[in-house]
Amino acid sequence: MGYSGGIFVVKAERPAPLGELGVLGEKSFPGGWHELQLDGFPEGSALREVVVATGAPALMAVVLDSDMAHVQALSPAGVGWAAYLHPGNAEAFGAPPLPHSPDEIVELAATWSAEAGLHADRDAVRAALTAQNTFAEETLTDLLTGLGVTG
């Protein structure tokens, strides 16, 4: 059985809007970015609240049994996007269709990355969005690398 819960990628150590959820693991990246693996699922409004509290772009992944993740990202200027990691598994779980095409998601992700002061590698982002690793968390790491978060 794999991990199920929320993972936040934020430009802050521990934003208050994450409430009482425990942190199971944390990674730090250059530029003040942190990945927080939570013990449980965040509230639906948590991403927006974190962006408002930090004044910086943030990303949230809701992982189901390490099989798939629903990734959402938002910036203070309102640039937002959503994607499924391991989309075949997401479909099997009954996830609803996304509002944007894969090409649109890549462009929105690159815009989000630029607003965060990062440089996205569009090909790496696209590869992560279509990858099928053993664990969704591995694919999330690939996505973060493509977005420029990991350095």
Query: For position 77, what pLDDT does the model report?
Result: 95
Q: Which two tokens stand for residue 117?
A: 């002061």
The percentage of residues in the chain with a pLDDT greater than 90, rounded to a whole number, is 79
Spell out the residues 6+ positions from residue 138 whose beta carbon is closer than 8 angstroms to its own.
none
The pLDDT, as a whole number, for residue 110 is: 98
- 42 contacts 18 by C-beta, under 8 angstroms: yes
Q: Which of 10-14, 86-90, 97-101 has the lowest mean pLDDT?
A: 10-14
d(CA 37, CA 8): 7
| Beta-strand pair 58-64/68-74 | antiparallel
Q: How large is the average pLDDT for residues 80-92?
A: 96
CA distance 120 to 145: 8
| Global pTM value | 0.94
Q: In what order do the strands lie in the sheet with 80-85?
A: 22-29, 33-39, 5-10, 58-64, 68-74, 80-85
Mean pLDDT across the stretch 99-120?
A: 97
Q: Mean pLDDT, the chain, as a whole number?
A: 93
Q: For residues 132 and 148, give the distance between their C-alpha atoms in angstroms, rounded to a whole number.
A: 20
What's the pLDDT score for residue 43? Answer: 85
Rounded Cα gap, residues 36 and 27, in angstroms: 7
Phi, psi of 112 (to 5 degrees): -60, -45
Instruction: Please give the Cα distance from 103 to 105 (Å, whole number).
Output: 5
Whether residue 21 is predicted with pLDDT greater than 90 in this model: the reply is: no
Give every CB contact of residue 103 below 8 A, 6+ residues apart in sequence: none
